[in-house]
Chains A and B, each alone.
Chain A
Amino acid sequence: MAEDLNWAIGGEAGDGIDSTGKIFAQALSRAGRHVFTSKDFASRIRGGYTAYKIRTSVDRVQSVVDRLDILVALTQRTIDENLDELHEGSAVIYDGERSWEADIPDEMTAVDVPLKSLAEEAGGAIMRNIVALGAACKITGFDVEYLDEALEKRFGGKGSKIVENNKEAARLGQEYVEENYDLEHLGYNVDVTDNDYVLLNGNEAIGMGAIAAGCRFYAGYPITPATSIMEYLTGRIEDYGGHVVQAEDELSAINMALGAARSGARSMTATSGAGIDLMTETFGLVATSETPLVITDVQRSGPSTGMPTKQEQGDLNMALYGGHGEVPRFVLTPTSIDECFWKTIEAFNLAEKYQTPVFLVSDLAMSVTEQTFEPETFDMDAVEIDRGKLVDEDEVDEWLDAQGHFRAHAVTEDGVSPRAIPGTTDAAHMSTGLEHDELGRRTEEEDERVQQVDKRYRKVETAQNEENWDYREFGDEDAENLIISWGSNEGALVEALGYLEDDGIDVRVISVPYIFPRPDLSDDIEAAEEVIVVECNATGQFADLIEHDVLTRVKRINKYTGVRFKADELAEQITEQLSEEVPA
């Protein structure tokens, strides 16, 4: 039997799938088990198939796999959708009393539990999912006490009656299975440990990173899958003296964030696809006015409204090239949930140090996936804040011209000008999206134009030299097969290494968290025999960049079905690619 356990609950949107899954994930995490969750959801509120999957193990897990051990099916569709992941040892929990007859293949164990009746017995039909969780605990031998703890956490705010009812529901589910089934033969073993983990998703990590980094102002407009960043910050950022505005649209959101940033607040906006398009108008203004701003793009499947609830990494070109004219920017691409936290902090520091917009590019898979971490992974004491050349009253003099005007866009060697925020005496100045001189005033003088363009790009050069544009590395350092990837594919790749190793294939994985500037991979690529770039898009936007950088053709693995890479699937595709010729 596999050491890790793969559990899922599926039904119709509106069935409480998400919160049930989350409760179970929390129970497992409390039991000191590692958890990795994934969600299948449709873009509608009621109706439409939705599922929450959990992979759990005593060891670290960071990918989904093509395997399901226990499935709580609230609809037949749940079974049909997951059929190819079910296996002989799988158990399917369903409610035979309800008006559907589950069609479960013979080789699987059908566990018919009267979810609704038992829930009603415990206090209300709404708890039928909790009954199912109790049943799942029994099947897997998982101590229901952890589930109780998770229920307390979840429902504690709603009063002890609700908590007790839910606990009762779980207990009834457990007892029912105990009395009616003998499932010892399934042999599931859900060990607990003494470890304390925290369980969070990528968007929560971004929100937490933002607060840790001193972000005080956030403006956004709801869009899947970015909204949960706004939801996280609302209700928390206030505790730190900040505020969230739900703007009327993305044009407004980015302009509000720009206004707050110019006033000296660390400020952020987040959106996805279509919202980024709207923000692009102001993006150039942010860059030419040299305003520090973090713009988060949680990518989803495009173009246009595309597949709003599906995974894709298709906005790379937008982040790199979006907007008219030429403006410098940084593009950061966290590769894991913990990196969502750290890269957000870095994004704020880079934005202020270089007075430049920073794109923080995440993706849907990462945003909805919860994963367990040691709490120290988010060590707040290690957070450093660098506000760059923010000048105070005493430093203003250095930057005044002969007439006493503050040179807000002073041409400097490193390309970075002094920054004064409103209220700083004698530093009043204006900024504009028009080309401007050192004082921020409109100019069409050839020399001044060239100086300002050069100055803005010099910031990138400076940053290129001063900052660490590193990559993350996994696998066999000396392997002749090199896999390069960016964004959330890292976890699946790292796990794929295990499968490949079993097949005797040595692979080195480079996972790149910076797209611009990006690490120079030419030596690594030259040293490798085979190079494959893995990404969730159809055209290979990152592969194009790599080819451009090193003038060498690379192989590509592209997935654009709307579903993230799975570890076992990736291993298979890599093996396949390695045996193929390099494309001409």
Chain B
Amino acid sequence: MSSDVRFTDFKSDKQPTWCPGCGDFGTMNGMMKALAETGNDPDNTFVVAGIGCSGKIGTYMHSYALHGVHGRALPVGTGVKMARPDIEVMVAGGDGDGYSIGAGHFVHAVRRNVDMSYVVMDNRIYGLTKGQASPTSRSDFETSTTPEGPKQPPVNPLALALASGASFIAQSFASDALRHQEIVQEAIEHDGFGFVNVFSPCVTFNDVDTYDYFRENLVDLQEEDHDPNDYEAAKEVITSSDKEYQGVMYKDENSVPYHEQHGVTEDMSEIPDGAPEDAMDLVREFY
């Protein structure tokens, strides 16, 4: 396939079982459009999904894909990219998947700077398990397992990424379709780990972080003359607690992706019929 790829080519014929109005619809549409827009097609794309409502995205998209176990999507994406630098890799999941059970992997995928995009559908709640607190839930947010609120501050995923040495940090809002798509597109095009935290409201279990809330509170960095190459400025917007931003917060123009730093260029799927030609050298070493 080539340039005539349309975003609907990335759509599977499975009907999403997301609740009507779930932010994940918009998030997914933007991802598919961004993939098509950046010249990819389903045959050269690998989507790795986590577990959660958000993780179901792999089922509704059409490409090479793996829907893995809870929290481990990033390492899978890393393996795919290392073995196949020629393949476009996108990893997707939820805030629970990425910042709770998968937090350790998040930090390390960020610092490895593997050339893939990572889209987190942040609804500040556990959707699939029916409404428990997530790492991004507000400290007074009442849920079935935290009747008086989690009483602990939420994780700031952007700050976590920045502290881990991220080369690309962005945030978008599922219902701002065009901006969301543009931002994901930029993440895909970034040479390295393109991290996008997406506000993707859960209409069933979260009545605080709603579409209305984000519409009212969201500030677009484009309108603020923010320079994403300015680390200090990035730090400023990422750590400010009084505003919700969308846009590309930080981008390291000198980013060199992991596989390039490690000299990995070959398609590892191709191997000889027998042992490699000079394999006897491996034996000789033991003389």
User: Which A residues are within 8 Å of any B CB, using their own CB?
Assistant: 29-30, 196-200, 204, 208, 211-214, 216-217, 219, 236, 238, 240-243, 245, 247-249, 251-253, 255-267, 281-282, 285, 289, 375, 378, 380-381, 383-385, 403, 421-434, 441-442
Contacts and interface: CB of A to CB of B under 8 A. Distances in A.
Contact of A255 (B76, B262, B269, B286): B76
Given A198-B287, A267-B79, A252 B14 contact: no
A246 to B, nearest CB: 10
Interface string B266-287: 1111011111100110111011
Contacts of A260: 79-80, 82-83, 268
Interface string B145-156: 000000000000
B275 A381 contact: yes
Contact of A285 (B69, B105, B284): B69
Interface residues of B, number: 60
A259 B76 contact: yes
Interface of A is mostly: mixed
B266 to A, nearest CB: 4
Interface in B32-47: 42-47
- In the A-B complex, list the 4 residue pairs whose CB atoms are closest, starting with the nearest: A259-B79, A264-B269, A214-B271, A430-B65
B69 to A, nearest CB: 5
A408 to B, nearest CB: 10
A211 B279 contact: yes
A426 B58 CA distance: 17
A347 to B, nearest CB: 15
A240 B271 CA distance: 9
B268 A380 contact: no
A248 B87 contact: no
A375 B72 contact: no
Contacts of A238: 263
B129 to A, nearest CB: 15
| Residue among A200, A212, A249 with most chain B CB within 10 A | A212
Nearest to A345: B275
A213 B108 CA distance: 30
Contacts of B267: 264
B99 to A, nearest CB: 15
Interface string B118-130: 0000000000000
A425 B68 contact: no
Nearest to A406: B64
Contact of A384 (B67, B75, B274): B274
A263 B279 contact: no
Nearest to A259: B79
Interface of B: 1, 12-14, 42-48, 58-59, 62-69, 72, 74-84, 86-87, 104-105, 107-108, 259, 262-264, 266-269, 271-276, 279-280, 282-284, 286-287
A422 B44 contact: yes
B282 to A, nearest CB: 5
Contacts, number: 212
Contacts of A378: 282-283
B80 A385 contact: no
A361 to B, nearest CB: 23
B59 A432 contact: yes
A434 B58 CA distance: 12
A384 B279 CA distance: 13
Given A238-B263, A264-B269, A428 B63 contact: yes
B83 A259 contact: yes
Contacts of A430: 12, 47, 58-59, 63-67
B75 A263 contact: no
A256 B76 contact: yes
B275 to A, nearest CB: 4
A85 B269 CA distance: 52
A497 B175 CA distance: 76
A423 B104 CA distance: 30
Contacts of A421: 64, 269
B283 A422 contact: no
B271 A385 contact: yes
A381 B80 contact: no
B62 A428 contact: yes
A213 B13 CA distance: 39
B286 A249 contact: no
Contact of B104 (A241, A248, A384): A248
Contacts of A251: 72, 75, 105
B82 A266 contact: no
A262 B76 CA distance: 9
Given A211-B282, A219-B79, A421-B269, 13 more contacts: A197-B287, A198-B283, A245-B78, A248-B104, A252-B108, A263-B269, A264-B268, A282-B69, A424-B43, A428-B43, A432-B68, A441-B12, A441-B14
B283 A385 contact: no
A212 B282 contact: yes
Contacts of B268: 216-217, 241-243, 260, 263-266
Nearest to A285: B69
A276 to B, nearest CB: 16
A263 B80 contact: yes
B275 A423 contact: no
A255 B83 contact: no
B43 to A, nearest CB: 5
26 contacts: A198-B283, A199-B286, A212-B275, A216-B271, A217-B79, A249-B104, A252-B74, A256-B76, A256-B79, A263-B80, A263-B87, A266-B271, A375-B287, A380-B283, A381-B275, A383-B274, A422-B45, A422-B64, A422-B80, A423-B84, A428-B43, A428-B62, A428-B65, A430-B66, A441-B12, A441-B14
Contacts of B42: 428
